[in-house]
Amino acid sequence: MGPAKILVVDDDKNICELLRLYLEKEGFSVVVSHDGQDAVNRFPSVDPDLILLDIMLPGLDGWQVCREVRKKSNLPIIMLTAKGETFDKVLGLELGADDYVVKPFDAKEVIARVKAVLRRTGKNDAAANEVKEVTYDKLCVNMTRYEVKVDGRVVDTPPKELELLYHLASHPNRVFTRDQLLDEVWGFEYYGDSRTIDVHIKRLREKLEGVSDQWSLKTVWGVGYKFEVND
């Protein structure tokens, strides 16, 4: 495996060069794009391991770019947002951003975030070859192929729903608070917006309702959620 490839999308050329310098020094390979439409057009051929994506872009903005990329790929996206711009974390999570950094940033912080996200998504280690899968009666969640099978059929599941289900099902009968789930699945230190978790759990329940009497997604009132398995 070669070095991880980072696509930097920002219309500020100075910021792009700064990030390129730091990232290359850390052994990453870097491709730069200065506008949203260009990034969307080029991303399939660039095939990056991670995108650093500015929100305020000419052409398509960062949100739209995020949306377009998510239609085709689960690759990690870190949003760059200017200080004073209200970064809508809920929208960020809904669209599948993995993290965000506020400008003006310390380049070292960006590098740390990039490494953390790549570590979390398993892009940067030998463990990437092992198959990550949990199976229960009539349910199979495969993180390697990003696929959920319910009763033998593949069910269309957005990446974050899948990761949430995988996380819960990997720790049967363990109760997680919403904040723990945000931190461990989304990796945001994420304040006050735990309703995102509720939305994802609700959607998962719609897909999994009544599939098996051997397991279920349970709400633990006042605490959080668990994947309950009957012995």
> DSSP label at 106?
-
Co-location of 156 and 223 in the same domain: yes
pLDDT of residue 85: 61
CB-based burial of residue 4 (10 Å sphere; 0-12 exposed, 13-18 middle, 19+ buried)? buried
Domain boundaries, position 122: 5-126
Q: Domain with 203 in it: what CATH number?
A: 1.10.10.10
184: pLDDT strictly greater than 50 = yes
Q: Tell me: the pLDDT tens digits for 100-140?
A: 888 888 888 888 888 888 877 765 444 445 568 899 999 99
Mean pLDDT of 35-55: 92
Co-location of 51 and 139 in the same domain: no
Least confident window among 6-20, 155-169, 171-185, 189-203: 189-203
Asked, as a colleague might, if the bond just before 104 is cis with ω within 30 of 0, I would say yes
Co-location of 110 and 209 in the same domain: no
Domain boundary among 126, 151, 174: 126
* Residue indicated by tokens 């009539």: 138
**HSE of 176, CA atoms in CB hemisphere, 13 A:** 24
pLDDT of residue 127: 42
Co-location of 122 and 18 in the same domain: yes
How many independent structural domains does the chain possess? Answer: 2
Co-location of 87 and 172 in the same domain: no
Co-location of 117 and 143 in the same domain: no
Co-location of 115 and 138 in the same domain: no
pLDDT of residue 2: 66
Co-location of 28 and 122 in the same domain: yes
* Residue indicated by tokens 């030998």: 126
Co-location of 62 and 152 in the same domain: no
